[in-house]
Amino acid sequence: MYDVVVIGGGVIGCSIARELSRYALRVCVVEKEADVGCGTSKANSAIIHAGYDAAPGSLKAKLNVEGNPLFTELCQDLAVPFKRTGSIVVALDEKEVADLEALYERGRKNRVPGLRLLDQTALRALEPHISDQAVAALYAETAGIICPFTLTIALAENAYANGVEFFFNAEVKKVYALRPGAPRFLVKTDHLCLETRYIVNAAGVHADNISRLAGGDSFYLTPRRGEYCLLDKDQGSLARTVIFQVPTKMGKGVLVAPTIEGNLLIGPNAHNIEDKEDTGTTAAGLAEIIAGAKRALPSFDAQKTITSFAGLRAVPPQRDFLIYADSKVKGLIHAAGIESPGLTAAPAVAKLVREILAADGLKCKPKRNFNPQRPPVIRFSDLSFEEQSKLVRRDPSYGRIICRCETVTEGEIIAAIRRPLGARDLDGVKRRTRAGMGRCQGGFCSPRVMEILARELKLPLTQVTKQGGSSYLLAGPTKAPEETGKKGATNNGSL
């Protein structure tokens, strides 16, 4: 019997799980994908927003402004790279200056610290590559950049280290309220049947469905897709801060930002779609974001795109987060409709959910042995020559470079597989080590990473997948030599 089952292993579910792991509770996370952070939490703008955007008085505004400062300590504890680059909203003509003032005013109402209006000279000094059309900007010093899946993985690992259980490849298909009026449920997936007192619904764009399965409040979350292009690191220095445009009638505009790893990210657009799994990109969409981004930063080279991707906003009906105890089903707590700035708000959302659970009758006794810290991850490419030498002498597997673009070693990949909640597939290794994220996108390293996965997980190579499920990478062995009369088909499983 669990105290809490968290449905969904995105940044929201993992933040909540980690927050609950501070207390003497039995908690698990149930996730339909093969890893945490495979939904919207891996495909967004990766920005820790300052908080001037959201309407004053909304939950979004409150949790954004509460969440932002928490990142300093959180990222230190979890050994997650985070950088407060600051952000700017640029006015591309004189008329838009009034919009900046309105945003500044909204920020003041939301109690956002460190907001300043910059004139053209100050703006140029801050962003030398900004468009000549840019006349002024609103600068927000507390905004920052982070890798959203590194954060999600780190939260999950730390929750796990503090006793939270995780179930993967486990799509919740049925929820039975066992005793009407009392918090008591059965949560069913194809292979699991979990009994719990409370359910936290953190199923992202599918949270409306979970509420429906549990017989809870009815609401519909509209999937609104945002597409991105990620550009080569040689474009990364074109932007120093996160560059937004003034929101227009046409939409919020496309942003340009450096990523924490030094690439340049451009996007997103915003289009409502029907299919809640459709994270495909479109030719028109990519053209739209490139054109949009060029308005603020004309000089980037779109040909330097190394990959493109899309994420789905879970747009709630009233455009505010739905974080509350269900009005019909006792023990069902929603953390739903968490569109942007959900990443930023995540630590504050987790605290709020814990308070709601406590108010609903869950006894939260702090655990004395809670360890907020996650052991740091070794990054070979970040080390000095001397440190690298020492490391390879201690463990020679750090002397074999597997990913040439991002300089990732075999040692790092082995560690990513062996860590708590370690990688189980190619994408899991990629998100934990960056192997395959560089400009060749895995062309060079994927056969080598597959070999290490097969060896570590004791799987035949043909069972190694890209992202779990049926995402196999090899269809089978080639014909035996006698069948083709050709050499080369060795088939011995070792690469």
Residues designated catalytic = 49
- Residue 382 makes CB contacts below 8 A (sequence gap 6+) with none
Q: Kindly state the smallest distance separating residue 60's Cβ from ligand FAD, in Å.
A: 10
For 186-212, the three-class secondary structure string (H helix, E strand, C coil) is: EEECCCCEEEEEEEEECCHHHHHHHHH
Q: Is 40 in the site for ligand FAD (CB under 6 A)?
A: yes
188 lies in the site for ligand FAD, by CB under 6 A: no
For the chain, what is the largest distance between any 2 Cα atoms, rounded to a whole number of angstroms?
A: 77
Contact pick of 51, 342, 347, 438 for ligand FAD (by CB under 6 A): 342
3-class DSSP state of 65: helix
Name which of 215 and 477 has its Cβ closer to another protein. Answer: 477
Q: Which residues bind another protein (CB under 8 A)?
A: 230, 277-283, 285-286, 303, 305-309, 385, 388-389, 392-393, 396-397, 399-401, 404-405, 407, 426, 440-441, 443-444, 446-447, 461-462, 465-479, 484, 486-492, 495
**59 token code pair:** 């939950």
Contact 316, 322 (CB under 8 A): yes
Options 198-206, 288-296, 326-334, 379-387: segment touching ligand FAD (CB under 6 A): 198-206
Least separation in angstroms between CB 91 and ligand FAD = 21
Nearer to ligand FAD, 208 or 412 (CB): 208
Listed residue (70, 14, 68) closest to 42, CA to CA: 14
Out of 62, 84, 206, 448, the residue judged to bind ligand FAD by CB under 6 A: 206
| Terminal C-alpha separation, the chain | 45
Please state, in angstroms and as integers, the Cα–Cα distance from residue 28 to each residue in 16, 159, 200, 249, 276, following that order: 11, 10, 10, 43, 25
426-433 helix and 446-457 helix, angle to the nearest 10 degrees: 110
Q: Name residue 228's beta-bridge partners.
A: 309
Which of ligand FAD, another protein, none binds 107 (CB below 5-8 Å, type-dependent)? none
344 binds ligand FAD per the rule CB under 6 A? yes
Rounded least distance, CB 483 to ligand FAD, Å: 23
Residue 216 binds ligand FAD (CB under 6 A): no
Report if residue 68 touches ligand FAD, rule: CB under 6 A: no
C-alpha 34: how far from chain center: 15
Chain residues binding ligand FAD by CB under 6 A are: 7-13, 30-33, 38-41, 44-47, 49, 171-172, 202-206, 210, 226, 268, 311-313, 338-344
